[in-house]
Amino acid sequence: MNFFSLPSKPWIWSFAATVIVWIVTVLFTGGASAFGLSQAALTFASFYVIVGIGQMFVITLGPGNIDLSVPATMTLSGTLALKLMDVQDSMIVVGLLVSVLLGIAIGIGNYALIKLLRIPPIIATLSMSFIVQSTAIWANRGLRIKPPEVLANFTTSTLFGIPNVAIVALILSAVAWLLLEKSIYGRWISAIGQSMFAARMTGIPVDGTRLVTYILCAALASICGYLLASFSGGAALNMGGEYLLLSIAVVVIGGTAVAGGNSNIPGIWGASLFMFLVVSMLNTYGFGAGFRLILTGLIIIAVILVAGGRQAGR
Amino acid sequence: MTIGKMLFASVAIACIAGPVSALADTAEKKIALSNNYAGNSWRQAMLTSWDKITKEAVEKGVVAAADPFTTAENQATEQAAQIQNLILQGYDAIVVNAASPTALNGAIKEACDAGITVVSFDGIVTEPCAWRIAVDFKAMGESQIEYLAKKMPNGGNLLEIRGLAGVSVDDEIHAGIQAGVEKNPQFKIVGSVNGDWAQDVAQRAVAGILPSLPEVAAVVTQGGDGYGAAQAFAAANRPTPTIVMGNREDELVWWKSQKDKDGYETMSVSIAPGVSTLAFWVAQQILDGKEVKKDLVVPFLRIDQDNLEANLANTQKGGVANVEYSLEDAQKVIEAAK
């Protein structure tokens, strides 16, 4: 890749927007806030990245594929894991395992609804999310249980100035990148996203691939819920709420084709950092909530237009 | 509220229940709770309180039934349909925590026209035929600044954490805080973020604005966001300001640990989820033929430095500090409005 091919990379635009917003925000204090802001952005963007990657795999499967059960999965995973660990450090690994298994179960449930009952993914995952959310309410009635201390410390501390959660997100991203770019599985989901019919004709195991993708998405949402609940000192029933739209937004802003068949991981990082920084920038400059929401919307549209325009002209 | 007071309240219920069941004026009446949302700990505590108090009342024969109904999505249209169902099911009174102050008015009017008593609380409705049990949210905001003015007479910089944008409660608490700052110009709001009444959202919003803020003397909040703010200050290695808390157990525990460590001082204020039980008794009183003003005010629950431990002991682990109201409390509130 030489320098001149950079503008044709769809993910470059989310990073360009991120850098601009970062500079504008840091200018407010004459540069003094640069380190603190970067660290906060890395921390909170990590959660967006983890759910974003899962959603990206699902969206890559092609038109109509989306997972709306992400917020409920996060809530249930956080709630159950923390309840199970019950503040004991010795249970941290067990909690993580249970949370991943839970994600796998929800993913299987999602695809079972889609395949066996022939329900469109948007409805299937929405129904699943009602079941999962109700289970979370029933499981603990919204009571907040503290995370084990070692786990809480791990999620809130840094290694050489880089937040630990960002390192976890980076490792997960690297694995996802390998899956997507270097493995046969990645080729398969791209092929299915471009044309499911053609993929079936060429002998790609379409159902198996789609099942694995929905499982992957739910498992990542589970891991995110586990980390977020540990990071913020307990699970809350509404903790997943805004991650539904965010998980889709970071995929789209990051330059993944909404129509499927084309995805990229770096863009998710750019978009996640951008989504956090844009809110911080508008807060820093003291805009009111209404104005802030309008501006956020306009800025997102602008970024997508610029990125999409370039892609079309390629 | 202390254990003693709670005991007193339950004794009061026990004493009163006898004569009431003898009068049996409302023994045949059925009351329904129409609730628009159950997805956070405050609402869960509200439903638990309702369950506890109304079950006792039904057992003692004060009323025939007191069934709670919650809609799946926090939407006015769905709740309006639910209220229409409750009318058809023949309830004598409907207690409402409304999704919108205006959008349910049509359904509420239908209920009134069918001779049903409607009592709204927390999320109140503007329809004139309904009763309203409102919290003076503006005073709640103002009381935070008054407390801070006493604690730090020289004033300082404030960070304001607001609730969910577009909800009337957020506007009212904010107006109270603003009024307080106008009266005490030694305070200056240097930053304002929306924490959506959730610890994780507040934590993220504060972490984002904190690097660009000067020294912050105090954080004014709306409830459910104080612990998240404390976490964000700790993560940024900034000195902990005076953070006004919102009665959540994790907030109170954090406050207690800081207090034990270095004498940290603050206050905590919110509405008790048990306000649903006050609405229940008010509805019962109206059905009983008592004259009740349409607009009632419920006091907010405030915790201070000296009664922190007592309140903490009373609060369910992971829950919200709560008060359940008795028939006597309801009668007092009704008296006060006259």
Give A251→chain B minimum CA distance, Å. Answer: 21
CA-nearest of A59, A25, A8 to A250 is: A59
Question: Which helix (H) or strand (E) element contains residue B213?
Answer: none
- State residue B19's pLDDT score: 45
Domain boundaries, chain A: 3-313
Give the span between the Cα atoms of A137 and B37, in whole angstroms: 12
Q: What are the phi and psi torsion angles at B27 (to 5°)?
A: -65, -25
Residues of A in contact with B211 (CB under 8 A): 29, 32-37, 40
B 253-282: CB under 8 A from A: none
| Digit-coded pLDDT (tens) for A239-251 | 888 898 889 889 8
Give the span between the Cα atoms of A288 and A280, in whole angstroms: 13
Confidence of residue B21 (pLDDT cuts 50, 70, 90): very low
| Digit-coded pLDDT (tens) for B63-101 | 998 999 988 777 889 999 999 999 999 999 999 998 888
**What tokens does B233 get?**
């200050």
Q: Which segment of A290-299, B17-26, B181-190, B230-239 scores lowest on mean pLDDT?
A: B17-26
Pick A143's closest partner by Cβ from B204, B209, B319.
B319
Residue B212 has pLDDT above 90, yes or no: no
Give the span between the Cα atoms of B163 and B138, in whole angstroms: 14
CA-nearest of A274, A268, A256 to A189 is: A256
Interface mutation target, options B200, B252, B254, chain A, most CBs of A under 10 Å: B200
Q: Are A263 and A191 in contact (CB under 8 A)?
A: no
Which residue do the tokens 């002209």 mark?
A313
Decide if B250 and A233 are in contact by the 8 Å CB cutoff: yes
| Digit-coded pLDDT (tens) for B96-133 | 998 888 899 999 999 999 999 999 998 889 999 999 99
CATH architecture of A3-313: Orthogonal Bundle (1.10)
Give the span between the Cα atoms of B237 and A36, in whole angstroms: 10
Decide if A143 and B316 are in contact by the 8 Å CB cutoff: yes
Which residue do the tokens 């059925």 mark?
B30
Residue of B nearest to A138 (CA): B44
| Digit-coded pLDDT (tens) for B293-318 | 999 988 888 999 988 998 888 888 88
Any residues with CB less than 8 A from the CB of B72 and at least 6 apart, and which?
A130, B78
**What tokens does A84 get?**
């199970």
- State residue A232's pLDDT score: 87
Residues of B in contact with A284 (CB under 8 A): 191, 208-209, 212
Decide if A280 and B201 are in contact by the 8 Å CB cutoff: no
Any residues with CB less than 8 A from the CB of A158 and at least 6 apart, and which?
A39, A164
| Digit-coded pLDDT (tens) for B167-199 | 778 888 999 999 999 999 999 999 999 988 888
All domains of chain B, ordered by start, with CATH? 3-122+271-337 (3.40.50.2300), 137-270 (3.40.50.2300)
CA-nearest of A53, A44, A124, A78 to A240 is: A78
Q: How many CB pairs under 8 A join A and B?
A: 121
CA-nearest of A18, A4, A90 to A269 is: A18
Pick A232's closest partner by Cβ from B39, B231, B236.
B231
Q: Looking at this predicted complex, what is its ipTM?
A: 0.81
Decide if A234 and B203 are in contact by the 8 Å CB cutoff: no
Residues in chain A: 314
Which residue has better confidence, A286 or B276? B276
Decide if A146 and B250 are in contact by the 8 Å CB cutoff: yes
Decide if A43 and B235 are in contact by the 8 Å CB cutoff: yes
| Digit-coded pLDDT (tens) for A110-123 | 999 999 898 999 99
Q: Are B311 and B303 in contact (CB under 8 A)?
A: yes
Decide if B193 and A146 are in contact by the 8 Å CB cutoff: no
Give the span between the Cα atoms of A161 and A158, in whole angstroms: 5
Give the span between the Cα atoms of B227 and A209, in whole angstroms: 43
Q: What is the pTM of this model?
A: 0.81
Residue of B nearest to A43 (CA): B204
Q: What are the phi and psi torsion angles at B207 (to 5°)?
A: -60, -30
Residues of B in contact with A275 (CB under 8 A): none
Decide if B318 and A144 are in contact by the 8 Å CB cutoff: yes
Confidence of residue A313 (pLDDT cuts 50, 70, 90): very low
Give the span between the Cα atoms of A301 and B5, in whole angstroms: 57
- State residue B20's pLDDT score: 44
- Calculate the dihedral angle through the C-alpha atoms of A74, A78, A80, A85, rounding to the nearest 10 degrees: 150
| Digit-coded pLDDT (tens) for A27-69 | 887 777 888 888 899 999 999 999 999 999 999 988 889 999 9
Q: Is B329 on the interface with A (CB under 8 A)?
A: no
**What tokens does A289 get?**
């909530």
Residue of B nearest to A142 (CA): B41
Average pLDDT over residues A102-110: 95
Decide if B199 and A156 are in contact by the 8 Å CB cutoff: no
Q: Are B141 and B174 in contact (CB under 8 A)?
A: yes
